[in-house]
């Protein structure tokens, strides 16, 4: 494939997802396309044309073009803060009402199951939504089966006792159906203006995805989340490594940055 056609495909991916692929990421996309071209019969048609003509192909390409790295209890310090402060605060505030949690850009679901298990351990009722643009990772979330790669030996170790009940001797994790059913899964494209986001959410985790978006897209997504999804007094967590990318130029006025020890997060005021 020549550079012009590849750039055209990258532009289509950016248009559909808001993602601006980096160099290493572009190499992965190129490899996938070359492999994919051998699987389908193009009969001389350029892949970019095939992509435009076949509705389902964009989904296949997007499923291969996103970066889906994730694991249980990632960024343990945030989970410690939830356990010691935020979940008890919600329990007192919500009474018998469920705590509504949304893991936006959830990937295969390790993040939402971590949040669910922590809430359960504190006897907090939840309504959990996991969303992603990638349908393959959402299917994995629905299955609730994870290899030992989803459990890291250092980060998250403090909370791994919550997984023990579901772990096999090789450290893989299999959740029973009744746990999987506690997680609603939705395909949501965060960059699509007309997309319908979950409503009345108390706690949103949207981590390790802003880095792939332009400044304007970050601003648009944060505004939409705060206007449509987050309740007053609700909290939003991003990855600590993304904080520099979310300065006052992209933050809505009613989203306040909060610092608690080493952990930063946001509160809707
Ligand atoms: C690196 S994973 C983050 C997973 C998890 N939040 C974590 O921090 O461990 C990034 C996820 O963002 C998703 N993503 C990328 N662009 C998206 C978009 N426009 N809308 C929704 N999800 C998107 C990818 O499919 C991928 O699963």
Q: Please report, for the domain that includes residue 141, its CATH number.
A: 3.40.50.150
What pLDDT is attached to residue 1?
Answer: 85
Rounded-to-integer distance, Cα 63 and Cα 65, Å? 6
Residues 200 and 157 in one domain: yes
Residue nearest atom 11 in ligand 1 by C-alpha distance: 105
- Considering its fold, how many domains does the chain have in total? 2
| Same domain flag for 41 and 97 | no
Q: Do 116 and 19 lie in a common domain?
A: no
Closest atom of ligand 1 relative to the 18 alpha carbon: 19
Specify whether 98 is located in the same domain as 187.
yes
53 and 85, same domain (yes or no): no
Query: Residue 235: CB partners within 8 Å, gap ≥ 6?
Result: 86, 202, 203, 204, 265, 266, 267, 268
The Å distance, Cα 179 to ligand 1 centre, comes to: 22
The contacts of residue 95 (CB under 8 Å, 6+ apart) are: none
Are residues 46 and 109 both part of a single domain? no
User: Which residues does ligand 1 sit against, CB inside 6 Å?
Assistant: 17-19, 66-70, 74, 105-107, 111, 132-134, 137, 188-191, 207-209, 212, 239
Tell me: do 139 and 231 sit in the same domain.
yes
Q: Contact 116/151 with Cβ under 8 angstroms?
A: no
Residue that has been written with the tokens 């289509």 in this structure: 12
Nearest to 237 by CA among 260, 261, 203: 203
Q: Helices marked H in 74-214 — which ranges?
A: 76-81, 87-94, 110-121, 135-143, 177-180
The answer to whether 115 and 83 have CB atoms below 8 angstroms apart is no
Backbone dihedral angles phi then psi of residue 201, each to the nearest 5 degrees: -95, 130
Which atom belonging to ligand 1 lies closest to the Cα atom of 71?
9
Q: Say yes or no: 40 and 118 in one domain.
A: no
Q: What are phi and psi of 174, to 5 degrees?
A: -130, 115
* The pLDDT of residue 41: 86
Note whether 218 and 254 are same-domain residues.
Answer: yes
Q: Are residues 138 and 194 in the same domain?
A: yes
**257 belongs to a structural domain:** yes
Tell whether 71 is covered by a domain: no
- Whose alpha carbon is nearest atom 27 of ligand 1? 107
- The verdict on residue 244 lying in a domain is yes
pLDDT per residue rounded down to tens, the chain (269 residues): 899 999 999 999 999 999 999 888 899 999 999 999 999 989 899 999 999 999 899 999 999 999 999 999 999 999 999 999 999 999 999 999 999 999 999 999 999 999 999 999 999 999 999 999 999 999 999 999 999 999 999 999 999 999 999 999 999 999 999 999 999 999 999 999 999 999 999 999 999 999 999 999 999 999 999 999 999 999 999 999 999 999 999 999 999 999 999 999 999 99
Tell me the residue range of the domain where 50 lies: 3-65
Domain contains 125: yes
pLDDT at 226: 98
Mutate to test the pocket of ligand 1, among 17, 133, 141, 216 (most ligand atoms within 8 A of CB): 133
| CA 207/CA 248 separation, integer angstroms | 18
Residue 70 lies in a domain: no
């Amino acid at each position: 494939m020549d550079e012009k056609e590849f750039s055209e495909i990258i532009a289509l991916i950016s248009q559909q997802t808001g993602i601006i692929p980096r160099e290493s990421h572009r190499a992965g996309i190129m490899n996938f396309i070359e492999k994919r071209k051998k699987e389908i019969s193009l009969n001389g048609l350029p892949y970019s044309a095939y992509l435009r003509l076949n509705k389902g192909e964009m989904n296949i390409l997007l499923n291969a073009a996103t970066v889906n790295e994730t694991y249980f209890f990632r960024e343990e310090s945030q989970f410690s803060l939830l356990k010691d402060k935020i979940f008890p605060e919600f329990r007192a505030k919500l009474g018998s009402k469920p705590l509504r949690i949304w893991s936006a850009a959830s990937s295969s679901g390790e993040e939402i199951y971590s949040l669910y298990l922590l809430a359960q351990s504190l006897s907090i009722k939840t309504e959990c939504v996991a969303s992603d643009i990638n349908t393959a990772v959402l299917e994995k979330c629905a299955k609730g089966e994870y290899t030992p790669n989803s459990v890291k030996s250092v980060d998250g170790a403090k909370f791994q006792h919550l997984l023990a009940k579901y772990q096999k001797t090789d450290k893989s994790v299999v959740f029973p159906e009744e746990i999987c059913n506690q997680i609603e899964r939705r395909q949501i494209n965060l960059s699509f203006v007309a997309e319908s986001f979950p409503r009345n959410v108390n706690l949103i985790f949207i981590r390790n995805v802003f880095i792939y978006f332009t400044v304007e897209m970050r601003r648009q997504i944060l505004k939409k989340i705060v206007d449509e999804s987050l309740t007053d007094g609700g909290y939003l967590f991003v990855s600590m490594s993304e904080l520099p990318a979310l300065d006052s130029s992209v933050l809505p006025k009613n989203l306040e940055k909060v610092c608690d020890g080493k952990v930063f997060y946001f509160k809707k005021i």
